[in-house]
Structure 1
Amino acid sequence: MMQLRQLDMKRVTEEERRMASVVAKKEEEKKRESHKQSLLKEKKRLTINNVARQWDLQHRVTDIATNHDRKDSDSPSQDPCLKDGSTTSAFPEETGSLDSVLTNALQGLSVTDTHLVELDGDTLFLYGSGALESLDRNWSVQTAGMVTTVSFTFIEFDEIVQVLPKLKMKFPNSLHLKFKETNLVMLQQFNALAQLHRIDQLTIDPQGNPVVNFTLWKYYVLFRLSHFNMQKVNGTEETKEKKKFCKMYIEDLVKEATEINVKKEALQKLWPQMFIELVRDAVIETRNTNSYMKHCLQQITDQK
């Protein structure tokens, strides 16, 4: 490569050439790094989108299967669309069922990235159930100690529960748990979090977690996890007064529900005999129609 000997009528020294070369290399490295970061961001975006599609397909397949089971149990054995025992569909163009199409699409997605693990500052992001396997890695003490927040997205909560013992061992300083699209549907599911050492903050995203539609879900969390002295739930500061109220309120509800359940069980035991006695008394009372009619008429007269 030819070298420039003069610039603006001045002789170009070796030092100037060396400095220019260093600057050019730095610019090239900067461009490469920028390009690398752009590629990583795009790969992250595509992976998250893929995980989201797989999550959606899984739940659509599950919903369709549930609906089919419900319809099968409610409908007669004979298909109304079939006549004379024929097994040909009334709509031949729809022979491929929707659930099989979704299943095939789900299998097609499995060949691409189906989970993502990202450590950003003090937050560990886990996308897709496959990301839970990262808890089996040999994390360095320094890296593991940095993690104070763990975010779960597109992972069944019941699967997360199974790795909670690993979580508290691998990341002892994790005090904030985030759940988004984790299929939290029942208050009882929060009970599993009690096995952790400590939780200061809990964030349950409404997206993909129907449990937040319950009016008392925060009350139940503060009651069930009261030993953690929770500081924030969904970003809201929780005071001592509110925690005390939640504890008393839920305890009263539990007590009332327990009493109702005891009465219900007692009634279930007594009801067969009570029913027999009611039927027996009714039969005896109405055995003589004339006397029964007179008795009823007398009761009506007395009421007047």
Structure 2
Amino acid sequence: MLSSDDYSPRSERMDLDRRCLEECPQLGILDGLRLLNLQHNLITKLQNLSQLRKLVFLDLYDNHVSEMTGIEALRSLRVLMMGKNRIHKMCCLENLSKLDILDLHGNQISRIENISHLSKLRILNLAGNSISRVENLCGLDSLTELNLRHNCISILTEVDRLPHLQRLFLSCNNITRFYELACLGESCSLSELTLDGNPLALETWYKQAVLRCVLHLRQLDMKRITDEDRRMAGVQARKEEEKKRESHKQTIHKEKRRLAIRNAAQQWEGVKACLELPQQNGSKEEVSPENSPAHSPAQSNGLTQEPSPDEPRRVSPGSGPERPTGGSENRLRANSRPNSPRDPKLLEAGGGSIQSLSLSDSHLAELDGDTLRLFGPGALEALERGWGVQTAAAVTVITFRYIHFDAIVQTLPRIRVKFPNLSHLIFLETNISRLPQLAALAQVRRVDQLTIHPEGNPVVSLALWRSFLIYRLHHFNLQRINGLEVTMNDVIAAERMFGTLGHIAASETPRCRLLLLLEESRKRQLQFLLEGRGRRAGLSPEELRDNGKLLGEGLSRALFNYPSRDCSTDSPEEGAVEPSERAAMTEQYLRELVKRASDTNLKGEALHKLWPAMFVEMVRDCVLEMKDQATFRQAGLARLSQASK
């Protein structure tokens, strides 16, 4: 109960703080009351307030109020202080349109809502709640101060829609990224801001980043902004712009690289579809283009095989680097549709600092440290470019992928000249399918490691491929093949397996061919001596001669040769050893078929492009002829009369 000393019927102010009140007292007789202080009590519900029509200031700080129900009738209220209560939801403010200050700090509110109609509200204090998102602020046109300290805010929106906001307090929240403050940059009135206690405040260039976002700021974290701070913000802004441009360039480069590799992979899939020929006599070995009649008789198996008619064959004349013409070469130009949804797994993912050498729609050549990666046939052009001495000397590994081995063979003699320190060759998806193809690697002259991935190279599935490689490249002194060390037992086993075969081949080879091979072997020995490798190593003359013999290919090994497709017969005598008119006729027939199919496809594509214009011209000509009907009838009658005769 209240005594008469607590109030006067004409009083406009009443102070009832710290009275241990559990409910609002009956104050109906005080219809002129304007200020009511109920701080530090035990009030749980707002009752007996509906008759206080003139109440302007209501202070309920530090009570036990859990709901705002009961203040709807206070239409004249301008200041509502309900901090440090137990309120869960902002509500019952529909009729308080004159509200100027709303203090709900230290409650349990999780969302900002039901206040957009308070157009006269100047100060809103929601500090110490559980708000995670700044929202629903539209309509607060008079708000000048917004206090959201000690919340869980991570997303900031609609602050730029407060036209008169001057002070915004966001200390001790969960704002981690600067772009969450982007809406503050649109505010033209904001002058004071606090962000201390947020994760982003720990960033090195925190102050400069905020000043770059909010240009009109005068105070940050209760400290005045100086001209030096703004100058540093400008410097940092320029650095950030440069970093963004560089990042954008890197992003574009990575995307172009990804598309180029993917298109090279898809082109390779189209090539494989055209090269997969039906098997003969139950053989498990895939028939590769080296077995086709387009090659020399010594490399042909004598079987004429055609691709399945159901396989896609899209011929793209002029695509890829220039190559010698031939039946199998035209098949190599078959290309799958670029940018199709299929995206194969890329084992050669680029990392680190990558220097691009060439970039186009379907091939890519890139230098990553000491590794040169080549994707697609067009990437072989990078081997023909002028290389700096230091750059070329740094290359120790070359990786080929999505390139047919026959195209690589043409570049092997020049690789050693271009890259003197090359020690490792990697072949992946290069269609190495026969043992004679491995013999072509002898043109590189020296290499320490070879890696031929099973993916796209059927030769790895053959049982003797590793032994043949060790035997044929014995003068290379190979150390590792596919990651496995080459031991002396491997060398002895390879010699036992293929040595006798090489001796038989040497005895059956024509004399002219043997002389040519022997001459080549002597050239290599002489080159070894002239280069002075032995002298640099401090070897004796006898050791020099022995090493020269080891370096040069043995005669029996040199007979296991894989000639390039553009090489001609060494001599008329050798060309007459194994004449094959049937193979020549088959090759010519296949060339004509492929050429005819290519020409037909080109004509069809040209007609498809020109037909709309041709159709328009035909219609126009007909309309012009029929424009003069009399002349048209006479011409028609004349043609009919001539036809009847």
**TM-score of the aligned structures, taking structure 1 as reference length:** 0.67
Name the residue aligned to 1:56.
269
Corresponding position: 1:17 with 2:230: yes
Single out whichever of 58-67 and 197-206 deviates more from structure 2: 58-67
Name the residue aligned to 1:192.
440
Superposed displacement of residue 243, structure 1 = 2.1
Cα 1:213–1:66 change in 2 (3 A) is: closer
Instruction: Give the RMSD, CA atoms, in angstroms.
Output: 3.3
Name the residue aligned to 2:472.
224
Name the residue aligned to 1:176.
424
Name the residue aligned to 2:372.
124
Say which SS state the counterpart of residue 117 (structure 1) adopts. strand
For residue 207 of structure 1, the aligned residue among 422, 441, 455 is 455
State the alpha-carbon separation in 1 of the partners of residues 273 and 475 from structure 2: 38
Superposed displacement of residue 208, structure 1 = 1.2
Superposed displacement of residue 142, structure 1 = 1.6
Percentage identity across paired residues of the two chains: 49
Unaligned runs of 5+ in 2: 1-213, 281-303, 317-333, 340-359, 510-645
Cα 1:99–1:259 change in 2 (3 A) is: same
Cα 1:98–1:164 change in 2 (3 A) is: same
Task: Work out whether residues 126 and 152 of structure 1, in 8 Å CA contact, stay in contact via their aligned partners in 2.
Answer: yes
Name the residue aligned to 1:7.
220
Say which SS state the counterpart of residue 374 (structure 2) adopts. strand
State the alpha-carbon separation in 2 of the partners of residues 57 and 176 from structure 1: 29
1:213-257 deviation per Cα after TM superposition (whole angstroms, max 9, x unaligned): 111111111111111111110011122332233223321454578
Name the residue aligned to 2:394.
146
Name the residue aligned to 1:35.
248
Say which SS state the counterpart of residue 185 (structure 1) adopts. coil
Task: Work out whether residues 264 and 402 of structure 2, in 8 Å CA contact, stay in contact via their aligned partners in 1.
Answer: yes
Amino acid corresponding to residue 235 of structure 2 in structure 1 = V
Amino acid corresponding to residue 59 of structure 1 in structure 2 = K
Single out whichever of 22-31 and 163-172 deviates more from structure 2: 22-31
Say which SS state the counterpart of residue 114 (structure 1) adopts. coil
Structure with greater Cα Rg: 2
Cα 1:214–1:63 change in 2 (3 A) is: closer
Say which SS state the counterpart of residue 150 (structure 1) adopts. strand
Amino acid corresponding to residue 46 of structure 1 in structure 2 = L
Cα 1:151–1:23 change in 2 (3 A) is: same
Task: Work out whether residues 116 and 127 of structure 1, in 8 Å CA contact, stay in contact via their aligned partners in 2.
Answer: yes
State the alpha-carbon separation in 1 of the partners of residues 504 and 313 from structure 2: 49
State the alpha-carbon separation in 2 of the partners of residues 135 and 117 from structure 1: 9
Corresponding position: 1:106 with 2:340: no
1:40-62 deviation per Cα after TM superposition (whole angstroms, max 9, x unaligned): 22222221111111111123234
Q: How many residues align?
A: 235
Say which SS state the counterpart of residue 215 (structure 1) adopts. coil
Cα 1:2–1:45 change in 2 (3 A) is: closer
Unaligned runs of 5+ in 1: 73-96, 262-304
Superposed displacement of residue 66, structure 1 = 10
Judging by fraction of residues, say which structure has more helix.
1
Superposed displacement of residue 109, structure 1 = 4.3
Name the residue aligned to 2:403.
155
State the alpha-carbon separation in 2 of the partners of residues 259 and 137 from structure 1: 43
Cα 1:185–1:101 change in 2 (3 A) is: closer
State the alpha-carbon separation in 1 of the partners of residues 393 and 216 from structure 2: 53
Q: Which gives a bigger RCO, structure 1 or 2 (Cα 8 Å, sep 6+)?
A: 1
Say which SS state the counterpart of residue 335 (structure 2) adopts. helix
Task: Work out whether residues 117 and 134 of structure 1, in 8 Å CA contact, stay in contact via their aligned partners in 2.
Answer: yes
**TM-score of the aligned structures, taking structure 2 as reference length:** 0.33
Task: Work out whether residues 54 and 109 of structure 1, in 8 Å CA contact, stay in contact via their aligned partners in 2.
Answer: yes
Equivalences for residues 213-292 of structure 1 within 5 A: 213-255=461-503
State the alpha-carbon separation in 2 of the partners of residues 44 and 107 from structure 1: 18
Say which SS state the counterpart of residue 430 (structure 2) adopts. coil
1:166-221 deviation per Cα after TM superposition (whole angstroms, max 9, x unaligned): 21111111110010111111111111111223100000011111111111111111
Cα 1:12–1:108 change in 2 (3 A) is: same
Say which SS state the counterpart of residue 410 (structure 2) adopts. helix
Name the residue aligned to 2:284.
none
Task: Work out whether residues 64 and 99 of structure 1, in 8 Å CA contact, stay in contact via their aligned partners in 2.
Answer: no
Single out whichever of 34-43 and 209-218 deviates more from structure 2: 34-43
State the alpha-carbon separation in 1 of the partners of residues 487 and 436 from structure 2: 23
